[in-house]
Amino acid sequence: MSQKPIVIVGRKLPEAVEARLARDYRAQLNDEDRLYATDELIARLEGADALLACHTERMDAATIERLPKSVRAIANFSVGVDHVDLTAAKRRGIVVTNTPDVLSDATAEIALLLMLGAARRAGEGERLVRAGAWKSWSPAFMLGTQVTGKRLGLIGMGRVGRTFAHMVRGLGMQLHYHNRRRLPAEQAANGIYHETIEDLLPHCDFLSLHCPATPETNDLLNAQRIALLPDGAIVVNTARGAIVDEDALIAALRTGKLAAAGLDVFKNEPDIRPEFRGLDNVFMLPHLGSATHETRDAMGFRALDNLDAVFAGREPGDRVA
């Protein structure tokens, strides 16, 4: 290469990742961490060789068709790629990559936090203490749902789902799962396989969602499926907001069909439904699944490994289009 490729960076990245970018590429960083409007992002990409994108950069078909001809690659700082129209990228000959593997532990930790927080009413309790409204203790005060020994169902047993399944073994939970295929017993933490979601749901005191967002999984957890859960079940979502019918979830939380929910992802985030904020039985986080120093560095380095391969004429290890 006579000149280093130009890489436009969608959002503010960890310091170590930006240092490597500046060393190896002509990088245009986003020091202010602004969310670029589509027109501005396309203008910035004029003459650029690649975009290093996060899930906040929506690359739908219309946007991809408008990308300058110079753009050869979109390296995503995420494992999910539902924000990119892969068919449109293939049509344009643009290489698209993601960052699998490196965020499984961190995201599974958040699923565990959400499950425990929702079950034990941690959000309510924390707000009570902060407001100075905790006045006394009694045997009937702030009773939640015990997790140990309960039945846990997982929809999706990819990297994060498998990590979470192994992580909860110490809680003595009975594992059930639905996946596109049955896994070897050790991979599935000796969980019980169910061929359909409908067969799985009646066995779930807790349900944790770990499937990707695709047209097929849009509103996967709807009113009909929530009705199949045991009364008082608890739902956890660290995957994508699109896979939950939020009207149905809110209704079930209001009626008590669901005891609680632990949510790290939402539709149209960060502009979430105001109804969620009014429900005490929802334990919410602002999309923190991969938010550790170690994981975010690893994601950035993985994205750069993919760009290095593209510009060296090699097949990138994490190509999805």
Question: CA Rg, the chain, in Å?
Answer: 21
Does 269 participate in catalysis according to the annotation?
A: yes
Instruction: With H, G, I as helix, E, B as strand and everything else as coil, classify residue 75.
Output: strand
Residue of 120, 210, 240, 296 with catalytic role: 240
Residue of 269, 273, 275, 319 with catalytic role: 269
Residue of 55, 287, 296, 302 with catalytic role: 287
CA-CA-CA-CA torsion sign (241, 244, 250, 252): negative
Does 240 participate in catalysis according to the annotation?
A: yes
Do residues 165 and 175 make contact, with C-beta atoms less than 8 angstroms apart?
Answer: yes
Q: Which residues contact 238 (CB under 8 A, 6 or more apart)?
A: 107, 110, 111, 114, 160, 208, 209, 210, 264, 265, 289
CA dist 13 and 21 (Å) reads 10
In sequence order, what are the beta bridge partners of 152?
Answer: 175, 206
Residue with tokens 């930790």: 109
CA nearest 148: which of 162, 164, 169? Answer: 169
Does 287 participate in catalysis according to the annotation?
A: yes
Where in the sequence numbering do the catalytic residues fall?
A: 240, 269, 287
